[in-house]
């Protein structure tokens, strides 16, 4: 059961081959048996999941079903869920039980999907390895001594470990695509505003975007059909109409122009990873695509620009956590100042505090123009680089990461090395573009990803290209030996 994709499970449920209750029970049993090694979940609500599965079976029997009715899904623990802890991977929200559902959660429930639980993540989505989580790091199913990536590492590990058919994630600077690449699954970061941010706990409001994580592009398309669309309660939600992202995925690639930025294939890229990415591009070329050399001259500035803009927005967003209204509160404060300072010192982890301090400094009087304003000007140049490239090509492609998953603990004490893990993904968020990572092969037994970047609201094209690649390859079907999968390599 656990080796079936979302599309296969959906078809089987509609045809009555099995029930949602059977499918849900199968995945809950796997979580209980295997997640002790992966630590991919923070919370599992077995009772609610089984009740939702029973409701889904009634909808299926009545013929009132969507493509996701009865499908188990895990959600990153950054989406508010009514009555179920939403911790954001932090001690600060360890006791927080939201009184409402995020729009994304509401849409999955309305579609009849079954929520298995909430997945592990870097604290407040700040990290590239899942090691900043208050609940300890999630582990990569391909090698449990290595990171799954971050910040959506728990979602990626759970999908790769076949503990859930699909999961949601969020991407502020690569937090869907990077863990998808390191865990050998498919992950899509939609255009900014394509998926509602209501009820998604904010890190950097102009960068955060929710998206799907699953085994294949087809599965991601089915999830995006539920997630995408205007939300009148979210002022950043786009009014551009959503599409049926699962339509037309089989059409040929003839005439497709794929841009290859020289800056993505430089000396910083692991040699073997680069070879796998180029082999994947050759496969797309054999299907009718044309490879075109392009340039993103300001891409090297994405890291310094991002690590001013994102911390600045984080310092503002996280100021609400003060021990007064909800979340963690220090013991026996002597006055209001002591309440604020000790609550934040004890409730936030080191990486979160580091970014709050950087962001507050960048926004302070005398430094705003020199740092934050300048970073926003650079952001505009980075976006323009992409716009110029899309005059000549339809899709931009390159590696998702500089190499395969690194060992747990290898970079946790070196923030600069950790930040460099996102060198190929950050610019996409600064430009607000959609991008997708898909499995492109293995290096030393570990998966690596191919990244596809599209024009604004061109998610359909990205999914189409990824689907065609996956029709010709089996990288996305392979699974770790350690999980007892029939599809294990």
pLDDT > 70: what percent of the chain? Answer: 98
Give DSSP secondary structure letters for 122-169: SGGG--SSSTT-TT----BTTBTTB---SSSHHHHHHHHTTS-SEEEE
pLDDT surpasses 70 at 43: yes
- Per-residue pLDDT for 444 more than 50? yes
Longest dimension (CA), the chain: 70
Average pLDDT, the chain: 96
DSSP, residue by residue, 283-311:
HHHHTT-EEEEE--TTGGGHHHHHHHHHH
SS (H, E, C) 421-479: HHCCCHHHHHHCCCEEEEEEEEECCEEEEEEEECCCCCHHHHHHHHHHHHHHCCHHHCE
Does the structure show a pLDDT above 90 at 180?
Answer: yes
Torsion of CA 440, 408, 204, 207, to 10 degrees: -10
Which helix H or strand E contains 313, and what residues bound it? helix 302-317
Instruction: Given the residues 4, 10, 40, 76, select the one marked as catalytic.
Output: 76
pLDDT at site 194:
98
Beta strands across the sheet bearing 435-443: 41-44, 114-119, 72-76, 166-170, 210-214, 186-189, 435-443, 446-453, 395-399, 257-261, 290-294
Task: Identify the active-site residue in 5, 129, 133, 175.
Answer: 175
**CA nearest 462: which of 402, 401, 400?**
400
pLDDT band at 485 (very low <50, low <70, confident <90, very high): very low
Q: What is the arithmetic mean of pLDDT over 356-369?
A: 93
- The rounded distance, in Å, linking the Cα atoms of 266 and 264 is 6
Is the pLDDT at 488 greater than 60, yes or no?
A: no
To the query of whether residue 151 is one of the catalytic residues in this protein, the response is: yes
Task: Band the pLDDT of 487: cuts 50, 70, 90.
Answer: very low
Contacts with 266 (C-beta within 8 Å, 6 or more apart), sequence order: none
C-alpha 178/C-alpha 447 separation (Å) is 11
Please tell me the total number of residues recorded for the chain in this structure: 489
Query: pLDDT tens-digit profile of 387-417?
Result: 999 999 999 999 999 999 999 999 999 998 9
The four Cα atoms 162, 487, 409, 87 give a dihedral, to 10 degrees, of -10
Residue from 144, 172, 143, 138 nearest 156 by CA: 138
The C-alpha atoms of residue 172 and residue 428 are separated, in whole angstroms, by 9
Q: Is the pLDDT of residue 482 over 80?
A: no
Domain boundaries, the chain: 6-253+440-450+466-483
Catalytic residue check, 43: no
pLDDT band with cut points at 50, 70 and 90 for residue 461? very high
Q: Which pair of tokens denotes residue 329?
A: 């509160």
Supply 391's token pair: 């005059």
484 pLDDT more than 80: no
Q: Is the pLDDT at 362 greater than 80, yes or no?
A: yes
Among 150, 227, 265, 206, CA closest to 383: 206
For the purposes of burial, counting CB atoms within 10 Å of the CB of 147, is it exposed (0-12), middle (13-18) or buried (19 or more)?
A: buried
Pair 361, 374: CB distance under 8 Å? no
**308 — phi, psi (to 5°)?**
-110, -45
Neighbours of 414 (CB within 10 A): 10
pLDDT tens, residue by residue, 212-231: 999 999 999 999 999 999 99
383 is catalytic: no
Q: CA–CA separation, 262 vs 474, rounded Å?
A: 28
* Predicted confidence (pLDDT) at residue 464 exceeds the cutoff of 60: yes
Give tens-digit pLDDT for 268-310: 899 999 999 999 999 999 999 999 999 999 999 999 999 999 9
Alpha-carbon distances of 52 from 45, 72, 76, 115, 412, rounded to whole Å: 11, 9, 18, 8, 39
CB atoms within 10 A of CB 434: 27
Distance CA 252, CA 135 (A): 45
How far apart, in Å, do the first and last CA atoms of the chain sit? 18
Q: pLDDT tens digits for 120-164?
A: 999 999 999 999 999 999 999 999 999 999 999 999 999 999 999
pTM, two decimal places: 0.96
What whole-number distance in Å separates Cα of residue 424 and Cα of residue 322?
Answer: 35
Q: Band the pLDDT of 342: cuts 50, 70, 90.
A: very high
Q: Is the pLDDT of residue 483 over 80?
A: no
Please tell me whether residue 192 adopts helix, strand or coil conformation.
coil
Of 55-64, 214-223, 247-256, 474-483, the poorest mean pLDDT is in 474-483
Give the integer Cα–Cα distance in Å for 454 and 386: 9
Please, which residues have CB within 8 angstroms of residue 86's CB and are 6 or more apart in sequence?
77, 78, 79, 80, 93, 96, 97, 98, 118, 201
What is the arithmetic mean of pLDDT over 61-65?
96
A 10 A CB-CB count for 61 gives: 11
* pLDDT score at 481: 85
Q: What is the pLDDT of residue 333?
A: 96
Q: In the CATH scheme, what is the code of domain 6-253+440-450+466-483?
A: 3.90.1300.10
The one catalytic residue in 151, 302, 315, 437 is 151
pLDDT at residue 486 in the model: 40
Helix (H) or strand (E) holding 116: strand 114-119
């Amino acid at each position: 059961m656990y080796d079936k994709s979302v599309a296969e499970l959906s078809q089987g449920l509609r045809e009555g081959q099995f029930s949602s209750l059977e499918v849900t029970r199968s995945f809950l049993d796997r979580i209980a048996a295997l997640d002790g090694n992966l630590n991919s979940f923070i919370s599992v609500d077995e009772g609610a999941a089984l009740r939702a599965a029973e409701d889904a079976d009634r909808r299926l029997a009545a013929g009132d079903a969507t493509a996701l009715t009865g499908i188990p899904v895990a959600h990153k623990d950054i989406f508010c869920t009514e009555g179920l802890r939403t911790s954001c991977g932090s001690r600060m929200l360890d006791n927080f039980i939201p009184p409402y559902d995020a729009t994304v959660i509401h849409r999955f429930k309305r579609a009849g999907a079954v929520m298995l639980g909430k997945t592990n993540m870097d604290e407040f989505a700040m990290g590239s390895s899942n090691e900043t989580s208050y609940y300890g790091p999630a582990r990569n199913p391909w090698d449990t001594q290595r990171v799954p990536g971050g910040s959506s590492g728990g979602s990626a590990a759970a999908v790769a470990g076949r503990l859930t058919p699909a999961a949601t994630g969020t991407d502020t600077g690569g937090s869907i695509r990077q863990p998808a690449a390191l865990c050998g699954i498919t992950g899509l970061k939609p255009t900014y505003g394509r998926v509602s941010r209501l009820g998604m706990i904010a890190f950097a409001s102009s960068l955060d975007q929710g998206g799907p994580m699953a085994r294949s592009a087809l599965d991601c398309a089915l999830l995006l059909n539920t997630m995408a669309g205007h939300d009148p309660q979210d002022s950043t939600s786009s009014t551009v109409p959503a599409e049926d992202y699962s339509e037309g995925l089989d059409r040929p690639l003839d005439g497709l122009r794929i841009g290859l930025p020289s800056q993505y294939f430089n000396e910083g890229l692991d040699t073997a990873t680069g070879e796998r990415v180029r082999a994947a591009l050759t496969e797309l070329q054999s299907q009718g695509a044309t490879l075109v050399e392009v340039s993103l001259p300001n891409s090297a500035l994405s890291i310094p620009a991002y690590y001013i803009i994102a911390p600045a927005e984080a310092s503002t967003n996280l100021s609400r956590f003060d021990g007064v209204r909800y979340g963690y509160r220090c013991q026996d404060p002597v006055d209001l100042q002591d309440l604020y300072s000790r609550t934040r010192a004890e409730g936030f982890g080191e990486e979160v505090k580091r970014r709050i301090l950087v962001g507050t400094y960048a926004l302070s009087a005398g430094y705003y123009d020199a740092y934050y304003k300048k970073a926003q000007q650079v952001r505009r140049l980075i976006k323009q680089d992409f716009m110029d490239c899309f005059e000549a090509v339809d899709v931009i492609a390159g590696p998702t990461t500089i190499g395969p998953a690194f060992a747990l603990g290898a970079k946790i004490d070196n923030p600069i090395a950790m930040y460099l893990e996102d060198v190929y993904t950050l610019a996409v968020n600064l430009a607000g573009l959609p991008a997708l990572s898909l499995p492109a092969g293995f290096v030393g037994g570990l998966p690596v990803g191919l990244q596809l970047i599209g024009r604004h609201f061109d998610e359909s094209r990205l999914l189409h290209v990824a689907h065609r690649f996956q029709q010709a390859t089996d990288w996305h079907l392979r699974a770790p030996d350690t999980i007892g999968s029939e599809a294990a390599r």
